[in-house]
Structure 1
Amino acid sequence: MLNSFRAEKEHVFRDQSLKTEVAFMQFESRWSQLNTQSPAERNDYINALANSFTPALRLTVISSGGKILASNLPNLSQLSYGHIVSQLQEQFALGQPCLQQLFRFIENPVQACAYPYNEEAILISTIENKMVFRYWLNKKKFLIIACLFSLGLMLFIIFLSHRQKINDTDDKIKLENDITKQDNDFKRLVSNLPGILYRLDLQQKSLDYLSPGCYQLLGYQPEYFLQNKITPFDLIDENDKHDFTQNSKAAHFSLKPFEMVYRIKSASGEHKWILDRGRCYKEKDQYYIEGVMLDITERELVRQQIEYLGIQDPLTELYNRFKFNDELVQAVSHSKKTGEQFAMLFIDLDRFKNINDSLGHQVGDRLLQKVAQRLQQIIPKEHFLARMGGDEFVILIHNIETPKDIEVFASDINRHLRQVFRVDSYELRTSCSIGISLCPKDSEHSHILWRYADTAMYQVKNSGGDGYKFFTQEMGDMVQHRINIEHNFIPAFNSNQFELFYQPQVDINSNKILGCEALVRWFHPELGNISPAEFIPIAEETGFINTLGDWILEESIIQLTHWLIYNPDFIMSINVSAIQITENFPKRIEHLLNKYKISGSSIELEITESLLMENIEYILPLLNQIQEIGVGFAIDDFGTGYSSLSYLRYLPINKLKIDRAFIMNIENDKDDVSMVKAIIAMSKSLNLVVLAEGIENSNQLHLLQNLSCDRYQGYYFNKPIDSHTFTSLYFEQEKYAK
């Protein structure tokens, strides 16, 4: 069989020269044309040419410089095959085109024949021994199959004869292989674990096993511990060793699964948080612990950060409102058991919003940090300080003997926060308003103490700030009354509890009614008659003024349509809050005028001086739009706010209403006379109509006549009355008299 293969190999080699020559003749006739085509097309041609021989040749075209021009051989990746060209040229010089061994062309030596094309390229045919072998194998396959079958049959007979003898050996080998495979699988599995598997002999205090994850987790190879007879537990942080020892003893005696968390020092010096899960067991009077140690450092740091944010204020590093609330609940519980008194101080910085708005939030935040530092310096550690949020801080003062102690403490806080704060390049001044509630005097409920301290603080705010107040029951009654008012707005509106009354506005000389002012009244079935002075400010704060104001506006215009029938020149004055004046307000006015077919000159909108000046830049363009449709404006309560006189020249107003505060004592107070006289003179110079409010007697009326006031309204002529009474008195009787 071997001789047959050698003979076949010699035969193939002898034929290769002839086949290569034949291939070269075909190649020579086509190459000049192919040389101009793409490498892919040249390779396709060479591949087709090579496969036309049996066994198939491997053809390659190399330039005289050693560059591959075309080939059906794979993996010809060298930059230059100059050494191949050199070997072939030596053969050409000897007149022999073929080589039995061509080296360093492909991975294995090949037998090759080559023919040069001019001096441009060389066509090389190569045949690998394995190709010859395949050809021979295919040619002799039936003979080979017969031989192999005979050999297999013989081996099978031998196998059967020895089968019984080797059964035991096979079982043993299989068992050993299974054990080896399981061992390898276990080692591979353990090596991929992110933690450490260990087995500890408790009596010897030595490790029987430590997984390779030891290096990834602690930076030590397992051999470090095994050779030095130490364990990873020797690296536990000193602060955690006591708890670890106690937990280990408990696990030892209980033989139950355990779970421990502790810190351990790695080779780099980093302290890592470890979750250790395992179990102690007994084996042949020996105690062992098997477990797994997992790195939970990242999880633990996240947990600590969450806990920190849960109780700490990140800006000032004080405790936050949630932690304070827990402390307050505990303080109340302790007070109930022991009778100990404590105080809650609610602190709000004065004018902080101005600093934030003018200098920016970064400066505001730095100021809050400075305030927190100053509070920490003056508040003893036995008391509890926290930041509520924004510019609000709270303090729990324990072990109070007398309220006088709290007064001294609050005064000290006021005094220290009144001092200059140096923030960057600014010298900032602020102060604080402090509300104080006492436990158990005021309440034994934490949420009520919160509310009472907050109420007292706002009382300080309303009084100008920079001070402190203890909660009183009167404050509580006021707050409750305010809450009742606020909660009853919507039900009162839906049940028509609001009603409009009208007070005449009269020419001061002729005593002729020129118009009236629409005034809203609230008749509550339980709270009684609620003054507008009470509910209008609350309505403005809560936003209910938009709903109520829109109703007042439309109801006034509806009533006006009836009275214009009697007096076409009659003017309805309607109070409008500056809060109502938004971008849509001019369109709303125009819509109502068109809907009820009345002229804009028949209504006059009254705006209070103080609210108008708070947002004059925004409101002024809107007032101009409303004036363009003929509606007039009056400034209500003039003289009680802080109007800039320069603005009066630009406001689209045609009337000033002198507040009744200047009229009440005008008979006896020369200063009031001077003030009214100045307002009238200024109004005349600006071509404004002047109306005095609150005229209650003839002396006041005559005095205002002498000061050249234009119009008035007040109880002297008539109080505000409902629409039916107004119609009866001033329109129907007048019509009857005529």
Structure 2
Amino acid sequence: MDVITGIEKIIIWKKTSLIRKFLLMTLIVSIQLLIAFFIFYLGGTKNSYVYLELSVIILGGFVLGPLGGALLGLTGGFFLGPVMPADTTTMLMQEKASWLFRLFFYIFTGYISGVVIEYLLNIIDRLSSITLYNPITKLPNKNYFENMTRDYYFDERIAVIKFEEYHKMIENLGIDYATDFINKISDIFVKIFNEKNKNNKEQNVFHLEEDKFAIIFSDSEMKNNFKVVYKTFYKAIKEKNVTYFPSYFIGISPRTGSNTEVLQKAEIARRSARKNLKFYEIYSPELSEQLNKNFDLSLEIPRAINNREFFLTYHPKINLKSGKVEGVEALIRWLHPEKGLIPPDAFIPYIEKTSMINTVTEWVIKTAFFEIKSMEKENINTNFSVNIPLKILENPKIIRYIEAYKRNPLSIYKLELEILERDNVENFKKTASAMKDLKKLGINFSLDDYGTGYSTLSYMQQLPFDRIKIDRMFIKDIENDESMRELVQSTIDIGHTLGMEVVAEGVETIKAVEILQNMGCDYAQGYHYAKPMTYPEFIRWYKDYNSTEKLS
């Protein structure tokens, strides 16, 4: 028997309605009466068959509790009492003391059996709460999910949602705030996924770990339900006068295989979504294969650095008011000798998790400085930005490396560091201090991929960012989705309120440009203007673009 089903069936006996208990009582009393006739037929109470009546009373106490057990003891004792002969052959009646003793013994036994089973059921109930339900949200937990049995519809899927910054929330805002936050999150999920299916008694929302939930839903509901989730959590959540923007990623898996396997597949998809800064990812066998390939590829990175297989491309940033190129983003690329051009998301996430990030960051900065200096000889005077993970600012070696370029104040003044928003602050004071020291040299900071990762107003207010970059996932639907336009507008307003300029990434059409201009967005990047280009390609594009601008 399934663990969950067994425990729940036992607990159901304890919570049986009064009507069902009355029907059960009637049935058991009828059985007692039949046993009494059976004992009479076999010769009376002198035989050991009277213990059949006792076993029914004990069972009745288990089913109906102390009061029910006592009542069954009373009826059982009466059926074998004053009207039942001790010996039906001679019709010798029982002594009064004998049947009265049995009567009170039956009542006592029925009552005690009920007390014992209630005590055991209370223990089972408490154990099930501890082992099968999350103590904070009272939702069924991972153990419940992995052991449950239920019939699934063919189109059902499992989603795993993890809130990335939960432990940092505890450190920075306290356990009470984090508890209230996670309770509010669970209430939202229950409202969306449980209350919509009130006719379905099954659980659809599960609290797997401190910061992780699982949801069962049908394929037909996915678009509408997750659109609600997206709109809900994009907005700030207010708890105890603290405004917080949740950071989360979703992995989705079809309901194929065991519950444990389904969770593993959804988790693989979630990690892929996090790595690629996507709202959600749907599992496929190819996804697992790709993750394995990416891991193997990461082992080749030291060789690639030594063999100079990396190179930079430049993605222009356009001022939406003047239409001029006012900066470029330097992006690292990898030309593998056997596999050709490797996409950045196949190796950058692995670099960020190792000490190689220091070496690669130094190479990117050094190469960008050199090539920007060369652009000046082509009469191209532009700022440039480099992507770095936030945690690297805690490394004094990197800070000293950047500071060494202050001997060339013209070049260092052009540098902007784009902080990946998927990174959390490990040492807030140290990071803030490092950023302020670099700003004194003239270096600017952008918050990259805003809206996809860690984004509390507290961080944005206290860290000295000059710009925020709205991720392309918000811009791609801006032409046709009114709710997305509202989200982008609110982000622009937040940035301007905090004294920051706003850059929109992933701009691909003139209509999107016009919408962003009307919203007051400051800069745009995207294929509408140009794709990321190598150094020679950018030189040619820049000259052509400037010629076109002058003509227009």
Give the TM-score normalised by the residue count of structure 1: 0.36
Kindly indicate which of the two structures has a greater share of residues assigned to strand.
1
Structure with bigger gyration radius:
1
Give the TM-score normalised by the residue count of structure 2: 0.48
Kindly indicate which of the two structures has a greater share of residues assigned to helix.
2
